[in-house]
């Protein structure tokens, strides 16, 4: 995946996490403010809010109120951990369905992970310039028609080959990025 697209994806995730962090902080502040209004409706809510922050919660507080404040605090903490995770730890790259991986490295990695039958099919296609008829692939790879069909379908699902119907057979073509990576 190009670096710019990956960076944009990470920034979008970071924006979502920052919004969650702000929402959690706002929720915690709002719950503390409501507690201040509940226990001292005659005095200034801001003064009560500051008193709760400096001295802690009052002694006669119902159980549900500190529990909700604690819930908001945990949400805030989870948001901070999420932000740290996305900033520090690298994302696992997903090579399936990627339209433009990084050439030779991606092709080499994918070739190493292919099953022997998949490697045979890819080699036959490469030998014929990157595009070949499926029934001839079956003959040259020494596989049954069903096995070739299954292997080609698996490769197509992962974006390594493209299959086009040509008459009563299929034209199987290596993906451009994969073929270029194998050539470089």
pLDDT per residue as tens digits for the range 128-183:
999 999 999 999 999 999 999 999 999 998 889 999 998 888 999 998 888 887 77
pLDDT per residue as tens digits for the range 109-121:
888 888 999 999 9
pLDDT per residue as tens digits for the range 77-124:
777 777 676 666 554 434 444 444 455 677 778 888 889 999 999 999
What count of residues does the chain have?
A: 184
User: Whole domain around residue 159: which residue ranges?
Assistant: 103-183
Number of domains the chain contains: 2
Domain boundary, last residue among 25, 59, 88: 88
Domain boundary, last residue among 88, 111, 130: 88
The reply to whether 45 falls in a domain is: yes
Domain boundary, last residue among 55, 88, 121: 88
Q: How does 103-137 read in b/e, with b if 16+ C-beta sit within 10 Å?
A: eeebbeebbeebeebbebbbebbbeeebebebeeb
């Amino acid at each position: 995946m190009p670096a710019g697209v990956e960076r944009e994806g990470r920034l979008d995730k970071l924006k979502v996490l920052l919004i969650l962090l702000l929402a959690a902080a706002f929720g915690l502040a709002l719950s503390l403010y409501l507690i201040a209004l509940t226990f001292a409706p005659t005095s200034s809510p801001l003064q009560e809010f500051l008193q709760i922050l400096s001295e802690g919660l009052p002694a006669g507080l119902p159980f549900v109120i500190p529990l909700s404040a604690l819930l908001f605090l945990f949400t805030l903490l989870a948001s901070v951990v999420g932000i740290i995770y996305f900033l520090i730890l690298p994302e696992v790259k997903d090579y399936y369905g990627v339209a433009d991986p990084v050439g030779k490295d991606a092709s080499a990695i994918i070739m190493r992970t292919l099953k022997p039958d998949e490697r045979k099919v890819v080699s036959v296609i490469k030998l014929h310039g990157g595009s070949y008829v499926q029934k001839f692939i079956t003959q040259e790879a020494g596989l049954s028609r069903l096995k070739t069909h299954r292997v080609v379908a698996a490769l197509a699902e992962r974006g390594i080959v493209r299959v086009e119907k040509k008459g009563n057979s299929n034209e199987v073509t290596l993906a451009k990025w994969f073929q270029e990576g194998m050539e470089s």
